[in-house]
Amino acid sequence: MLVSVALPVPLYQQFTYLLPNKVLSKQKVKQQISADFSLTDSTPIDFPSNAIQNLPSDELPPIGVRVRVPFGRQTLIGIVVGYQSLADTLAKGHLTLKQLKPIKQVLDDKPIIDETLLQLAKWLAHYYHYPLGEVFMVMLPSFIRQGKALDIFIRHWKVSKNSTIEQLSKSAHRQREQFALIQLNGEQGASEDVLLLEGVERHYLKKLADKGLIESFLQRQQPPKPVNLAKLPLTLNSEQQQVVDSLYQAYKNSKSKAVYQGFLLNGVTGSGKTEVYLQAMYPVLKDNKQVLILVPEIGLTPQTKARFSQRFIANILLLHSGLSDSSRMQGWEDCQQGRAQIIIGTRSALLYPFADLGLIIVDEAHGGSYKQQDSLRYHASDVALYRGFQLGIPVILGTATPTLEQLNLVQLGKLTQLNLTKRAGGAKPPVFQLINACDPDGKHTRTVHSQQTNGDWQDTGLTTEVITAMTETLEMGEQVLVFLNRRGYAPVLLCHACGWQADCPHCDAHLTVHKSNQSSMHKGRYLAHYLQCHHCGWRTQMPQHCPDCQSSNLDTLGMGTSQLTDSLHAIFANPQKSKDSYPIIQIDRDTTRNKGSWENIYRQINTGKPTILVGTQMIAKGHHFPNVTLVVMPNADLGFLSADFRSPEHTAQLIMQVAGRAGRSKKAGRVLIQTLQPQNPLLLSLVSDGYQVFASQLMKERYLMGLPPYVHACLIRCESKTLEQTHQSLEQISALFTQYNLQHDKQVAISAVIDAPMAKKNGRYHSQLLLLARQRSHLHRLLDDCWHSALQLPSVKSLRLSLDIDPTGW
């Protein structure tokens, strides 16, 4: 037999190797092969000398183990994914014996990839048309890819036989204290992790071990204790109860008959979805099964963890992309061996192995960050449904603003919709109000200017009504949230003399101005003044003169969070101007980059003191700030004007999510949407009819226009040093597809080749080709049959191509 190995190379094939092992003579090998595969004497067998050295063992490495194999001049680590007979392989003529090489080393005796994970990998490779070996690259922690052994044994420490505390000198207080701590764990000792948690310090372990007072030993990690309640659940309202009952029924079915059921939990903001999750999880955890909860962003995970640890005494594991290689490896093992009982993670947590998963929850399931935008471009909400199906367990997609794709799955009967229409715990829905920012003549804006500490007057971008409402709210001791989805000071730097604008030399994009005055001072340091590209990260100093005409008449255009913070500072935090001075907290990627900064901000908000929060979409995501009663959105509705067909959907989701932060507790909430077009029908419909009705309107439009979710899309992107090259190769691919399509009743619509929305990015050029089909199977068949040949086209070989199934934008 030959072994098929998936290798981390961008090629759509598995590689075939001979078994490793025994050293045999050339004659013996020949005999054995001839006997095994009944080759006739006339079959040309030409042995390479290295193959003979290692041919052949009779023991097949199990499927799912790692092997080290030669690949060209390198040695790679791959995963055994199947077997093939030598006779078949030779008969097919793809390979000659001479080309076959033996496996160098088998790294595991038991599979590291179990059956379900291998099935998942194969499904991902097939659905997303991505090489299997590279799927493993995305899936596996780097230590596993590097061949590191899995530590199922953990270092433990215990007090050595016959050693007592009296052997330590009386004056060695610290050592005595540490010894006593270790001794508390008795004869079984405890794992190093646990001891460190209990206050033992690592260097004392070494010190005491050197003295022979304690000793270490390796032991399997103990299975966790059964999960228990830390706090009693809340009494559910009737809607919540109905939802929990349906979920429990689905769980019972999954337990007895392994049937999967997918749910869309459509609950307005503040309807108590978390309480529903907690109560749906409990019976699953009680059965010693694991629960996986996906959250959209890493910033959300610490708070999410607290919400679950307050309810359950359980081993809770956090998984996100910020983990170190070793924590990721540890997390992998904890999931695989069942030590992790509740797993909270971002999208990649779906690709972990689980000992016994009983339920998957996708929180804020509309979140854009659930779609991976490079390499394996999977969508976590879809993969979660596949995982549920594969494992025969329920999956809950929870959100106040479902995507149109998710609503379509409900219409198709693939998801069961459960609704929470009211806010929980007596909170009222927020009241919306539109504020016209235009003068009656429609030409000018009516925004208030504020005077900075340096004497300059600055446009706040906010109307008098908004400023008044903010003042009233703060004076009542409540908090205000101002949403502005643009970080930095201003999106454009402009020369008034000649019209020059500061652009990124590497991208088709303006540079963002970063500067700040008093208010965005962080940890005693002023943020520097600079220009930065938000697409490639390129930075440069702020110019004093226009590089084209030397004029010093440079000015910024538009407003970002740091500018808004500055101008609010002049009004609300300037002791010379106002009797009360309120803290203003800027929340965006610039102010939350450092470790612990989110937690700090969180703590500050949760004091409940009157405060102004200025933030980007980071603040839209599921946060619960009980004392925020006023939400202000200065120009959130601009997205309704965008040419991107998905923009109205995304804009509406964002507006509803941000609005959902208002009045989540006892006090009622208000939402002020300040707009330059108060008559925009989309905006009016969203505000007066709500997201449900708005979304069903959009669905109708999509249907009429033949757009997703009613058609299935695949976007092929090409990247190269010149735009011409990208066009050329996509044209050739398009021709290939078109020819195939003609033979298959033109089931797939193939677009013209166009430049990508940002054609130049990071110094490289991008163009794209879009495929649309009414039936998913037609799209996949075309790709199955043509994509490999497309990659073989001479003009394509040296370029970077990517294929995006179910793209979220084009």
Shortest spacing between CB 428 and ligand ADP, in angstroms: 12
Cis bond before residue 708 (omega within 30° of 0) = no
- State which residue, 417 or 436, has the beta carbon closest to ligand ADP: 417
Tokens of 660: 């959902």
- State which residue, 263 or 582, has the beta carbon closest to ligand ADP: 263
Largest pairwise CA distance in the chain: 102
Letters for 497-516 (x = contact with Zn ion by CB under 5 A, - = none) are: xx-x---x-xx---------
- State which residue, 234 or 438, has the beta carbon closest to ligand ADP: 234
- State which residue, 358 or 622, has the beta carbon closest to ligand ADP: 622
In order of 71, 436, 463, 556, 674, the CA distances from 447 in angstroms are: 66, 10, 4, 17, 10
- State which residue, 134 or 364, has the beta carbon closest to ligand ADP: 364
Single-letter residue type at 588: D
Helix and strand counts by DSSP (H, E) for the chain? 23, 35
- Which residue, among 3, 35, 6, has the nearest Cα to 19 in the 3D structure? 3
Shortest spacing between CB 273 and ligand ADP, in angstroms: 3
The single residue among 66, 273, 339, 761 that binds ligand ADP, judged by CB under 6 A, is 273
Count of residues in the chain: 810
Work out whether 233 is an interface residue with ligand ADP (CB under 6 A).
Answer: no
Number of residues that bind ligand ADP (CB under 6 A): 18
Helices 464-475 & 561-572 angle (0-180, nearest 10): 60
Cα(356)–Cα(132) distance, integer angstroms = 25
Site for Zn ion in 527-556 (CB under 5 A): 533, 535-536, 538, 546, 548-549, 551
Contact predicate 120/351, CB 8 Å:
yes
In eight-state DSSP terms, residue 397 is: E
The single residue among 176, 624, 667, 781 that binds ligand ADP, judged by CB under 6 A, is 624
- Taking CA 489 as the corner, what is the angle to CA 535 and CA 503, rounded to the nearest 5 degrees? 45
Query: What does the H/E/C string look like for 536-558?
Result: CCCEEECCCCCCCCCCCCEEEEC
Work out whether 670 is an interface residue with Zn ion (CB under 5 A).
Answer: no
The single residue among 178, 185, 266, 269 that binds ligand ADP, judged by CB under 6 A, is 269
The single residue among 160, 175, 237, 303 that binds ligand ADP, judged by CB under 6 A, is 237
- Which residue, among 564, 562, 488, 467, has the nearest Cα to 531 in the 3D structure? 488
Span interacting with Zn ion, options 328-336, 487-495, 521-529, 773-781, rule CB under 5 A: 487-495
Tokens of 283: 């019976």
Number of residues that bind Zn ion (CB under 5 A): 15
Work out whether 760 is an interface residue with ligand ADP (CB under 6 A).
Answer: no
Q: Tell me the CA end-to-end span of the chain in Å, nearest whole number.
A: 46
Shortest spacing between CB 254 and Zn ion, in angstroms: 48
271 binds, among ligand ADP, Zn ion, none (CB under 5 to 8 A by kind): ligand ADP
Single-letter residue type at 18: L
791 binds, among ligand ADP, Zn ion, none (CB under 5 to 8 A by kind): none
Cα(467)–Cα(498) distance, integer angstroms = 35
498 binds, among ligand ADP, Zn ion, none (CB under 5 to 8 A by kind): Zn ion
Residues whose CB falls within 8 Å of the CB of residue 731, separated by 6 or more in sequence, listed in order: 753
Letters for 184-223 (x = contact with ligand ADP by CB under 6 A, - = none) are: ----------------------------------------
Work out whether 672 is an interface residue with Zn ion (CB under 5 A).
Answer: no
- State which residue, 519 or 657, has the beta carbon closest to ligand ADP: 657
User: 17 in helix, strand or coil?
Assistant: strand
Locus of tokens 């013209």? 752
Work out whether 664 is an interface residue with ligand ADP (CB under 6 A).
Answer: yes
- State which residue, 162 or 235, has the beta carbon closest to ligand ADP: 235
Span interacting with ligand ADP, options 264-272, 295-303, 380-388, 592-600, rule CB under 6 A: 264-272
Letters for 422-441 (x = contact with ligand ADP by CB under 6 A, - = none) are: --xx----------------
- Which residue, among 638, 588, 619, 635, has the nearest Cα to 447 in the 3D structure? 635
Cα(726)–Cα(795) distance, integer angstroms = 9
Please give the residue ranges that form the binding site for Zn ion (CB under 5 A): 495, 497-498, 500, 504, 506-507, 533, 535-536, 538, 546, 548-549, 551
Binding residues (CB under 6 A) for ligand ADP: these are 234-237, 240, 267, 269-275, 424-425, 622, 624, 664
